[in-house]
Amino acid sequence: MQDLISQVEDLAGIEIDHTTSMVMIFGIIFLTAVVVHIFLHWVVLRDLRKTCHRQFTAMVANHYPE
């Protein structure tokens, strides 16, 4: 990760101190965790919604036979 920061420094022509590079690294890790968290919530909640709908439909069909 430090190599990536060094490459960005070279390309941008700026100098980044150790503290700033650590903040950037932790920021990237945090943003990645947030994106993964939101994605997993979306997938899990969608699956849970489908499962609950199927179970509720089956329960109603069994409780009120035609």
Q: Walk along the chain (66 residues) and give the pLDDT tens digit of each residue.
A: 667 777 877 888 888 888 888 898 899 999 999 999 999 888 888 888 888 888 878 877 777 766
For 61, how many CA atoms within 13 A lie in the half-sphere containing its CB?
A: 6
Residue 27: per-residue pLDDT: 93
pTM of the model: 0.58
Helices 2-12 and 18-63: crossing angle in degrees, nearest 10, is: 120
Tokens encoding 27: 């920021």
pLDDT of residue 66: 61
- C-alpha 44/C-alpha 64 separation (Å) is 30
CA distance 20 to 10: 15
